[in-house]
Amino acid sequence: MSGTATLVTTLKSNLKSRGITYKALGLKWQLSEASVKRIMSEKDLTLERIEQACELMSISFSELIKLSPFDLETTDQTISPAHEMEFSKDLRLYHFWKLLGDGLGIRQIEKKYIITSSEIQKLLLKLDHLGLIELHSNNKIKFLSGNRTRLGKDGPLGKILIREAKTNFLNHSFKNITQEHFRFVLYRLSPSSAIRYKAKIDKLINEMKIESEVESKNSDSIEFGLLAALRPWESPFRQSIKAKT
């Protein structure tokens, strides 16, 4: 089950447990009860509607996510080593596969990106050959593998991403205070506290991932990068005076 589907299932069960009917939800959404039933059945909700439903239950979106049985290991899939190797050799193929998974049609891709019809056909055939999609007549596509993927740091694509994160991503001014944020801090913690904060970081990333599934359908959504790292590390400031052995 996708993260969005899990979230909607949790939303439905919590509405029911609180005695909030689809009729009441329809009044909040300004829709008929039949329309609410259809939307909930299709599990295709916008973030705004989910937040409005949360308002009816007097909880926040973050609290709804905490109530949902998400699992970072299962809501994302790991690309097979063979597929990741093929993608690392042809990043346009990987980008094209992600665009299809984001819900863009062939015509939308042609209109928005610099790519020819012949290249699109070649990429479709290659994805079909790799067993990632099933290509039918008139370029109708059926996905055979989930598009929301988690890259392993030791795989070829993961290594490319980490290399870019260390150079391109961090080599930035981070001056756009509305959309950018940069902080690097040093604190002394016990090992048990570090484990607890690592779990909190994982929860934050999971929350962003689920919200991304909902918001990725919005025309104004753009890709953001978040680099999270935590490890024992002695800064240069604490290496000037050596400790006695």
The CATH number covering residue 40 comes to 1.10.260
Both 64 and 97 in one domain: the answer is no
Tell me the CA distances in angstroms from 96 to 107, 127, 145, 147, one per residue in order.
13, 9, 14, 11
Both 100 and 57 in one domain: the answer is no
Type of residue at 241: I
Both 85 and 114 in one domain: the answer is yes
Single residue among 48, 73, 98 that ends a domain in this structure = 73
Both 26 and 47 in one domain: the answer is yes
Could you report the per-residue pLDDT of 47-106, keeping only the tens digit for each?
Answer: 888 889 999 999 988 788 878 775 544 445 667 888 999 999 999 999 999 888 877 889
Both 67 and 81 in one domain: the answer is no
Single residue among 121, 143, 165 that ends a domain in this structure = 143
Q: What is the value of pTM for the model shown?
A: 0.69
- Does residue 243 lie within any of the structural domains? no
Could you report the per-residue pLDDT of 155-200, keeping only the tens digit for each?
Answer: 899 899 999 999 999 999 999 999 999 999 999 999 999 999 999 9
Q: How far apart are CA 146 and CA 77, in angstroms?
A: 7
Domain of residue 83: give its range: 77-143
Number of domains in the chain: 2
